Structure 1
Amino acid sequence: MTETTGSTATPESGNPEGADGAAETTAAEGDKKSGKKKSGKRAKKGLFARIGLFYRQIIAELRKVVWPSRNELTNYTTVVVTFVVVVMAFVAGLDYGLSKLSLWVFG
């Protein structure tokens, strides 16, 4: 199947895997050898068709996203804001301490 990272053998690509896990000869390689033009599903589409396909794929991917609930979003926001405030206080403390130290050292 397609569990291997980086595998291009998917049913959508028309690139099935063989029994040994390696991809068979692709349709594009077969077309190059025989000199035939691509047709059907693998043919190059026009600009607007490609743009439409791109947006359909975006919408399909967004439907797969697991969106956080309102409660989870509130918790995540609270954690992030608290962390930012703590880091800001730490950096401000370092800045204040180092400025006093440099004032003491250099007069």
Structure 2
Amino acid sequence: MARKIVDEPSEEIVANAKKESAEKRNPFGRLALFIRQVIGELKKVVTPTRKELLNFTGVVLVFVIVMMAFVSGLDTVFGYVTILVFGDGNITGAQ
């Protein structure tokens, strides 16, 4: 499972970008340069394997469930405290 990890742009890409940006370009030339750079960056993207994808999905689902439980707990606690502070909503005054 050897992967080529590229975090920094190669010197060739940087040199070409500097050279091309130094030249005056019309809007179509700038658009073409942008598209070439996008394609160059997309070639560096490494898609995860099925095992990695399932692992990432599991981690996200567990995190979301934990956060839902946490927020639900806070909502319950704050609701209870609100009822204690402001009463149960009985505005008739009858006891």
TM range (shorter): 0.5 to 0.7
- Compute the TM-score of the two structures, normalised by the length of structure 2: 0.64
1:71 aligned to which of 22, 26, 51: 51
Following TM superposition, by how much is the alpha carbon of 1:104 offset from its aligned partner in structure 2, in angstroms? Answer: 2.2
Percent sequence identity over aligned pairs:
47
Following TM superposition, by how much is the alpha carbon of 1:44 offset from its aligned partner in structure 2, in angstroms? Answer: 1.2
Higher RCO (CA < 8 A, seq sep 6+): 2
RMSD: 2.2
1:18-97 equivalences in 2 (<5 Å): 42-97=22-77
Question: Which residue in 1 is equivalent to 2:7?
Answer: none
- Compute the TM-score of the two structures, normalised by the length of structure 1: 0.58
Following TM superposition, by how much is the alpha carbon of 1:41 offset from its aligned partner in structure 2, in angstroms? Answer: 8.7
Structure 2 segments unaligned to the other structure (5+ residues): 1-13, 88-95
Structure 1 segments unaligned to the other structure (5+ residues): 1-9, 15-39
Higher helix share: 2
After TM superposition, what 4+ stretches of structure 1 lie above 4 angstroms from structure 2? none
Q: Is 2:15 the partner of 1:11?
A: yes
Following TM superposition, by how much is the alpha carbon of 1:71 offset from its aligned partner in structure 2, in angstroms? Answer: 1.6
Q: Report how many residues are paired.
A: 73
